[in-house]
Copies of this chain bind each other. A is one copy, B any other.
Amino acid sequence: MLSKKTRYAIKALVVLGKNFGEAPMQISKIASEEHIPKKFLEQILLDLRNAGLLYSKKGAGGGYGLVKDPAEIFVVQVLRLTGGPVALLPCVSLNFYQKCDECSNEATCGVRDVFLEVRNETLKILSETSIADIISREGLLIQNTGV
């Protein structure tokens, strides 16, 4: 399961993606629109800023904005920045690798092999899907459900 942190980060980026090109957006606006605790969101946006995904502007009229086009920000990046490993086992994680301490031989572990396959499929989707894709999917879903 993704942590709340990761989920909030994605949601915030989607909102900022819709706002791309406009004036920066305040934390409190994002927080209230997306029902995210403001203080928690502050920390998350700061992380994303320090990672170079967002710019920020202090003072009156300040806020946050995307540095890059939402089509160039991929979901997998957000997971990694917010500490959510893609893999289901530490021994198949690219960025959060750890040896399974109960496993005697990684190279011949059948369990690992299965979860390697899962990771590859997951990674494929998440590294091909951008914030812009999420936004356009929402458009399609709204059409299809007639909401």
The dominant DSSP class at the A interface is helix
Which one of B11, B102, B141 contacts A102 once the chains associate, using CB atoms below 8 Å?
Answer: B11
- Given contacts A1-B87, A7-B89, A89-B2, is CB(A111)–CB(B142) below 8 Å? no
| Residue numbers in B under 8 Å from A105 (CB-CB) | 147
| Residue numbers in B under 8 Å from A125 (CB-CB) | 114, 117-118, 121
Q: Report the separation of the CA atoms of residues A134 and B117 in the bound assembly, to the nearest whole angstrom.
A: 12
- Given contacts A35-B101, A88-B2, A125-B121, is CB(A141)–CB(B7) below 8 Å? no
Q: Is A60 an interface residue (CB 8 A)?
A: no
User: B1 near A89 (CB under 8 angstroms)?
Assistant: yes
| Residue numbers in B under 8 Å from A138 (CB-CB) | 108-110, 113
| Residue numbers in B under 8 Å from A136 (CB-CB) | 110
CB contacts under 8 Å to B, within A68-83, are 75
- 13 further contact pairs, Cβ within 8 A, besides A7-B89, A7-B111, A34-B102: A1-B87, A1-B90, A7-B100, A10-B111, A14-B110, A14-B111, A36-B102, A75-B114, A107-B147, A114-B129, A114-B137, A117-B125, A121-B122
User: B107 near A145 (CB under 8 angstroms)?
Assistant: yes
| Residue numbers in B under 8 Å from A126 (CB-CB) | 114, 118
Q: Report the separation of the CA atoms of residues A135 and B113 in the bound assembly, to the nearest whole angstrom.
A: 11
Query: Mind listing 16 A-B residue pairs with CB under 8 Å?
Result: A1-B88, A1-B90, A2-B115, A10-B111, A108-B142, A108-B147, A109-B138, A111-B134, A113-B138, A114-B129, A114-B133, A114-B137, A118-B122, A121-B121, A121-B122, A122-B122
